[in-house]
Structure 1
């Protein structure tokens, strides 16, 4: 089924909403809020998605407002076939590979070739994990209702459609702080922390009206290479590596949190250690979420330097985001920096 994005045919327009309707967002906090009136949910490692349906027309929109339906035709087809003619749902698109959620598999969907997308949609189908409802099954806007009401309507929706939980599911939720703390301590794989919502609040589109808390961990990594700053001969980022089970150093991420005052001395130190290959396993420049025109432009180093970095998420045996440099570890052997220390 083809989706329609024309303004006068959009499912969103049928509800007086815009297809660019912004999702409610969260501000980062260091600890879970406590006290009465909080609902806690896992923060899923996927693509945020608002799903609009009106009759036979379905529209999937990313957090940015851009259309997602082209890249997830199996989800468009699934929602079109559900026995509910109207709804708008806020959730997360995820893909499971080998028993774990894979952000890389989601990234692979953003491909220009429709034939490639169709092939992937059959091989690695997506799932929608819903956590809020903006328009009810009768077409009534419920954004101004509180979370307790919206959550009850979402649960009713799930029970009504009898959807396969491997295709459509509702995110777990709790009001128990200890249970939420358990979710937080176990995050870093399929989940990226915990999201906290006020149960008496309406849905505040485009506002940071929720709270998110991430589990921050540390790892000792070998500095296998570095990149210069753009248009500069000063170091811009350190390329990080961990040893795999075969004794090869795999590129796992980077850190660019280097103080400007430290860059001249550090650049000289790194340049004195330039020597290939740097990484003996997976090297920078291969397919990854960081790939840019400059991805292959890096300087390999002798494997002598070790740094401790702080990270929040691991996807596909790589740090999902840039890391924070905490300290140098001259007391640590490079060979001690392996995947085992981060549970892989």
Structure 2
């Protein structure tokens, strides 16, 4: 390996803020860019022993995605001539010219165990890679360089690339970023990201800012309750990892159709925890005076599956209301689903509200 940094690399992360800020902490300059709705990916291109190039694609949790996107591997080999490590996003573009948008469902289906299916999907729903940060080039590590330097080097590196490889646009104008937040939603984008211009790359740290169209969180599915009808999944119980690495329940998601409730039983069957007799391991939820006669039992699941939910606000360490299911996240590792991703409102005195 000839790369100047160790790979895979944990990507630099973002914390949610409610609106596009004019500046960062203490008036620090910001650079804004679109928030792409895809799979976060760090690509490293390296020399092989024979002098050729090898390409690997790592997910946010350092899971290798290389085999699922052969068309991107081919594109990097064809368009690069030297080692590099690039941070970016994998997306699938669908639709006619003038009405093209990102297609999350098509992208999520690209994660498939069968090689024949991977090849077929690479032809039917080809992916694109959008680069937005440069971690290393040649024998030079850029991790310690400010974003302004990394971005300038990235622009030079990707100046001549062609589809399916792309360079994400940026601006230092917060008003333009605010317009992006509104306008780009129609193309399926997820919001806006702000980066400190003078900050180095901080692997695994939530140092960037993200402004989304809604509050969302990626949570681990830890159990399910049977529907009150007696058949199918009534609700999914969700968890997040705290600072000590403990998985804590944060609420649930429900409101599935009759057909979907039955489908979920089959989908989640491989994750059901079982005792020595092969029976499902059951748990019992908390009761209060409003649910003293309600069945609060649940079927425990191994914490291996992640889903994205929409929520309105937190009450303590739990979702205040039932969260709304948005989509499965096959690209996310359960351990990456922490409380840190949640938006924490600034403290405000109730007396001031009532005054």
TM-score (norm 1): 0.62
Q: Is the 8 A contact 1:147 1:198 kept in 2?
A: yes
> Given the superposition, is the C-alpha separation of residues 291 and 88 from structure 1 closer, same or farther in structure 2, using an over 3 Å criterion?
same
Aligned twin of 1:54: 46
Distance 1:286 1:108 in 2: 17
Q: Distance in 2 between matches of 1:58 and 1:278?
A: 43
| Whole-angstrom CA distance in 2 between matches of 1:182 and 1:120 | 34
Query: In the alignment, which of 183, 191, 199 is matched to residue 197 of structure 2?
Result: 199
1:220-246 deviation line (CA, Å, top 9, x unaligned):
xxxxxxxx95379699649xxxxxxxx
Name 2:109's counterpart in structure 1. 108
Superposed displacement of residue 18, structure 1: 3.1
Q: Does structure 1 residue 75 correspond to structure 2 residue 76?
A: no
Measured at CA, do residues 278 and 167 of structure 1 come closer, stay the same or move farther in structure 2, by a change above 3 Å?
Answer: closer
CA distance in 1, matches of 2:46, 2:312: 49
Cα 1:181/1:230, change in 2 over 3 Å: same
Provide closer, same or farther for how the CA distance between residues 285 and 214 of structure 1 changes in structure 2, counting only shifts above 3 A: farther
CA drift of 1:325 comes to 6.5
TM-score w.r.t. structure 2 length?
A: 0.60
Secondary structure, in 3 states, of the residue corresponding to 2:44? strand
| Residue 124 (1) aligns with residue 125 (2) | yes
Equivalents in 2 of 1:71, 1:110: separation in Å? Answer: 6
Cα distance in 1 for residues equivalent to 2:80 and 2:64: 23
Q: Is the 8 A contact 2:4 2:136 kept in 1?
A: no
Counterpart for residue 264 of structure 1: none
Equivalent in 272, 292, 313 of residue 268 of structure 2: 292
Question: How many residue pairs were aligned?
Answer: 240
Conserved? CA contact 2:43–2:56, under 8 Å: yes
Residue 324 of structure 1 deviates from its aligned partner by 3.1
3-state SS of paired residue (1:54): strand
SS at match of 2:112: coil
> 1:186 is paired with a residue of what secondary structure?
helix
- Which segments of 5 or more consecutive residues in structure 1 lack a partner in the other structure? 1-12, 218-227, 239-254, 259-269, 271-276, 296-319, 327-344
Deviation of the 1:286 alpha carbon: 6.3
How many Å apart are 1:126 and its aligned residue? 1.0
Residue 203 of structure 1 aligns to a residue whose secondary structure is coil
Query: Is structure 2 residue 148 aligned with structure 1 residue 172?
Result: no
Deviations 1:181-203 (A, max 9, x none): 11112354521111110000000
User: Which of the numbers 321, 324, 333 marks the counterpart of 2:308?
Assistant: 321
Counterpart Cα distance in 2 of 1:131 and 1:285: 42
User: What does the per-residue CA deviation read over 1:67-99, in whole Å, with 9 as the maximum and x for residues that have no partner?
Assistant: 111000111111112243111100001111222
Give the CA deviation at 1:215.
1.3
The C-alpha deviation readout for 1:315-344, integer Å capped at 9, x for no partner, is xxxxx9323369xxxxxxxxxxxxxxxxxx
Q: Who is 1:64 aligned against?
A: 61
Cα deviation digits, residues 290-333 of structure 1 (max 9, x gap): 953499xxxxxxxxxxxxxxxxxxxxxxxx9323369xxxxxxx
Q: CA RMSD in A?
A: 3.4
Please list every run of 5 or more consecutive structure 2 residues that lacks an aligned counterpart in the other structure: 48-52, 216-222, 237-250, 272-306, 314-355
CA drift of 1:31 comes to 1.8
What is aligned with 2:225? 230
